């Protein structure tokens, strides 16, 4: 988890330039280079040896004892995330078949599907889509993934204004994550939330 934050901050610091851990433009712009870049940005980079230095990119998180505990227990979260749906499926249907199908669909298939959506933000959303705001990279807003990615695919807006809690800032752009942050703010669980202002958006518009 802390490693993910470090990777992501490095991605913002070097987006689509040398040093970006997952840019699809790393190998060039020919069709073959882009096919290779797509694979690299989507999931190939995860298997590379280029590891992000956590002490440089996420020293604040590494210094937080609670976050370190959550981070170290990552294997436990994975096991629970696979086990709980299976147990629920078994109990609700009172059958081993229910446990197995819940394990497959609510466990393995769910995790794999959601990973591909997240990875698509790194690959597709740095290649295809609209770029209404000025950013230093090739990030783009790709509307077909808006609902599945819960707003993350308004990725050009995110790169133009990374600290904004809302990525879907234009008319009709659904952003479920922003709504969740909004609810957390109302409940007092989140504070100092940065919401987009008309003035700032106008300054960032291309």
Which residues lie near Zn ion (CB under 5 A)? 139
Between residues 102 and 169, which has the closer beta carbon with respect to Zn ion?
169
Q: How far is the CB of 158 from Zn ion (least distance, A)?
A: 5
Q: Report the first-to-last Cα separation within the chain, whole angstroms.
A: 34
Q: State which residue has the least CB distance to Zn ion.
A: 139
Between residues 52 and 139, which has the closer beta carbon with respect to Zn ion?
139
Q: How far is the CB of 53 from Zn ion (least distance, A)?
A: 18
Q: How far is the CB of 146 from Zn ion (least distance, A)?
A: 15
Alpha helices (H) along the chain? 2-13, 31-42, 54-57, 59-62, 65-72, 74-93, 96-102, 110-123, 155-160, 176-186, 198-204
Instruction: Name residue 141's beta-bridge partners.
Output: 130, 154
Between residues 120 and 139, which has the closer beta carbon with respect to Zn ion?
139
Between residues 86 and 146, which has the closer beta carbon with respect to Zn ion?
146
Residue 45 — left, alpha, or beta (φ > 0 → left; ψ -120 to 50 → alpha)? alpha
Q: How far is the CB of 125 from Zn ion (least distance, A)?
A: 7
């Amino acid at each position: 988890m802390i490693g993910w934050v470090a990777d992501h901050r490095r991605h913002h610091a070097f987006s689509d330039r040398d040093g970006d851990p997952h840019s699809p433009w790393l190998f060039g712009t020919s069709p073959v280079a882009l096919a290779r870049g797509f694979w690299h940005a989507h999931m190939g980079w995860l298997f590379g040896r280029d590891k992000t230095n956590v002490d440089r990119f996420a020293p604040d998180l590494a210094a937080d004892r609670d976050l370190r505990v959550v981070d170290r227990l990552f294997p436990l979260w994975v096991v629970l995330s696979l086990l709980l749906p299976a147990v629920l499926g078994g109990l609700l249907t009172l059958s081993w078949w229910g446990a197995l199908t819940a394990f497959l669909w609510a466990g393995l298939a769910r995790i794999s599907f959601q990973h591909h959506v997240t990875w698509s933000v790194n690959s597709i959303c740095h290649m295809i889509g609209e770029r209404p705001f000025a950013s230093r990279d090739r990030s783009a807003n790709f509307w077909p993934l808006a609902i599945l990615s819960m707003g993350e695919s308004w990725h050009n807006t995110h790169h133009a204004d990374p600290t904004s809690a809302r990525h879907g800032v234009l008319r009709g752009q659904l952003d479920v994550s922003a709504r969740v942050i909004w609810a957390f703010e109302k409940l007092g669980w989140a504070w100092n939330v940065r919401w987009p202002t008309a003035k700032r958006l106008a300054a960032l518009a291309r």
